[in-house]
Structure 1
Amino acid sequence: MANKYEGGDGRLVTGLAPVYTDRCTLLVLGSMPGEASLQAQQYYGHPRNHFWPLLYGLLEGKAPEPDYESRIRFALSRGVALWDVLRACEREGSLDSAIRRPEANDFRAFFERCPRIRHVFFNGSAAAQWFARYAAPQLPGDVRAYVPLPSSSPARAMPLSAKLQAWQPVRDAWLEAGGLR
């Protein structure tokens, strides 16, 4: 999905398409990709974002692959889907606090395409808040857990080691699902 920029109170920003297969059992939701991610058309595309080191560290115990396509294959091979709560919004810059006029993604249709998802993780408190406010009515009954995690964003001043500890529920859910590879 292409980004759209229009006039008004802020730029109209359109997010990225979901990354998933029907085998995915875990879903990691951000709020809305930042400018670096939108420009690169990559989830967690800012070079200082901790998402990829977190995911690889938890599920493989190593550093992430350098190229984005390998990272996506890694996530999908482990049953991890990626998306954002918001489909579009007005925003200047990359901060969640700058989001205006949010539009939620269609989670009812997404969960129909991904019936095996049992755990939803929110990458940051804003994602959890937007989801509760706009997407909660679309929740399927068979998801076992909705877990807020500290943001992987470089704006969240927290060492990677502390984030790895806080993100441990992702590893636990992955192991519970059979540790797909």
Structure 2
Amino acid sequence: MQRKSAFPPSVDEHTRLLILGSLPGDASIRQGEYYAHRGNAFWSLIGDVLGEDLRALPYALRLKRLRARHVGLWDVIESADREGSLDSAIRGAELRDLGAFIARLPSLEAVAFNGRTAALHGRRQIGSRPDLALIDLPSSSGAYASLPREAKRRAWAVLAAHVSG
């Protein structure tokens, strides 16, 4: 089994919505980009929320567009042993200190969890926060195929209330 590490956060002091995944998959780690696997619908789903075709942009511009709309990205797991890319294969997870991290984001109003693993670990770390909307989303991963993309799109649409126009 291989030890895999997450990326640094993509946030700034204006971040209003923080989207947390679990741990980057192999394609993302190889490319050094969040949600790099072709089968992952993240860029399509968040693009629909923002009303922009983010998939057509180079990665650096995608992140810039997210920050311009006050959307940040990070993961709940710092590192873990995992063979392949599935969350179900994660072992020995070292979790982030999300409580301390979000305390440094003065504009934060919502945290969205991309998938069940992110929600499980993230909610446990953040705890009860009446000042934050905590939103569980269906995973954007292509491995989560039991929910059609249109249903995922409808579920992700709730994020629109937390992004800047």
Give the TM-score normalised by the residue count of structure 2: 0.92
Tell me the distance in 2 between the aligned counterparts of 1:102 and 1:50.
25
- Shift in Å, 1:126: 1.0
* Candidates 26, 32, 40, aligned match of 1:41: 32
**1:26 matched to which residue of 2?**
17
**2:126 matched to which residue of 1?**
136
* Candidates 79, 83, 108, aligned match of 2:74: 83
Q: Does 1:162 align with 2:165?
A: no
Tell me the distance in 2 between the aligned counterparts of 1:103 and 1:76.
27
Structure 1 residue runs without a partner (length 5+):
1-9
**2:134 matched to which residue of 1?**
146
**2:113 matched to which residue of 1?**
122
* Stretch moving more, 55-64 or 152-161: 55-64
RCO comparison, higher one (Cα < 8 Å, 6+): 2
Structure 2 residue runs without a partner (length 5+):
none
Tell me the distance in 2 between the aligned counterparts of 1:141 and 1:164.
26
1:107-141 per-position Cα deviation (integer Å, ceiling 9, x unaligned): 233223212111000000111012234x135x666
SS of the residue corresponding to residue 19 of structure 1 reads coil
* Candidates 43, 60, 68, aligned match of 1:52: 43
1:17-48 per-position Cα deviation (integer Å, ceiling 9, x unaligned): 10001001000000111110111111111122
* Letter of the structure 1 residue corresponding to residue 158 of structure 2: P
**Structure 1 ranges of 4+ moved more than 6 A:** none
Task: Report the identity percentage.
Answer: 38
* Letter of the structure 2 residue corresponding to residue 171 of structure 1: A
What is the RMSD of the two structures over their aligned residues, measured on CA atoms? 1.6
* Letter of the structure 2 residue corresponding to residue 163 of structure 1: K
- Shift in Å, 1:173: 2.3
Tell me the distance in 1 between the aligned counterparts of 2:140 and 2:32.
18
**2:61 matched to which residue of 1?**
70
- Shift in Å, 1:58: 1.3
Query: Between Structure 1 and Structure 2, how many residues are aligned?
Result: 164
**Residue pair 1:120, 1:147 contacting (<8 A) in 2 also:** yes
SS of the residue corresponding to residue 18 of structure 1 reads coil
* Bigger Rg, structure 1 or 2: 1
**Residue pair 1:15, 1:33 contacting (<8 A) in 2 also:** yes
